Structure 1
Amino acid sequence: MALHILKLSVGTESLEDKIDWSKHYLKRLKAAGHPPQLFHTTRMVPKRIDEILDGGSIYWVIKGQVQCRQAIVDIEPFTDGHGIKRCHLVLDNKIIATQWQPKRAFQGWRYLKPEDAPADLGADAAAIPTELKAELSDLGLL
């Protein structure tokens, strides 16, 4: 059974901001001759790699709400130039909008059980402006 990761998207203002940043980063990678592949670097290597790679995603918390996810396609531990062990969570380039779920701030990342993960939203719901999503979420309608 898949296991997910929950992570704050620090500095991100909205889901649209997250999508725009990702598109811009992919263009920069391609222009530099690198494979256009998104990843997140973390210091802690997950111990439950097999469960995560069995269909897990990283769920992004933006402005206090889980708002989207990306499938984790690989986990690549490495040692950086300063001798510190780190890890790339290699992500699918597609960002999938989810139902909003409130989450308080935390450091690092957390495991997220499948039964606790918010459901994906359809393409129509993903097109709703951020301000309207916030209001609908406050009313318990999204």
Structure 2
Amino acid sequence: MYSIMNNTWLIAPPNYILLLMSLLALVLGIFGFKEKRNWRTQLRSCLTVIMSSLTSIGLLLVLLISLLFPNEHIKTVSSPDHSYLIDFYQWDMGAAGTFGILGELNGPLWFKKRIYREERTENVKIKWGSNSKVSINNHILNLDEQIPMDTNDYDIANPLI
């Protein structure tokens, strides 16, 4: 959420990797109960099991919610020199929400940066002006500079998407 609100790179691994790491900590915490050297090892195992269980349940809920409201991949575009790669998704929050387009700049590994969000549109028109300037639905973004937080028609600071 911090990375979305402050327009920085999202560096956390995908949720399913975090869930696997949490389940691994849960299993190791359960195996830790076999070690009965002193009260500290028992307390450590108990805290590990409790914290990893809560984390696993939270991540499982996040994964289930993301299955209910998936982002549909529209297209992937690359800059003329192939130094930037942008994925575009269409999102729809159902009857109680709105719909729109979301653009994410791909970085190394799983790093992503949300650079574009426009509500109430279903199509995306992309035109590269140079290797670092892209026009998305007539909004020009310079990818070498800091992407603005808010403009008139699109808002990338909404953490709900």
| TM-score after normalising by structure 1 | 0.27
Higher relative contact order (CA 8 A, sep 6+): 1
| TM-score after normalising by structure 2 | 0.25
Return the structure number with greater strand share. Answer: 1
Q: Which of structures 1 and 2 has the bigger CA Rg?
A: 2
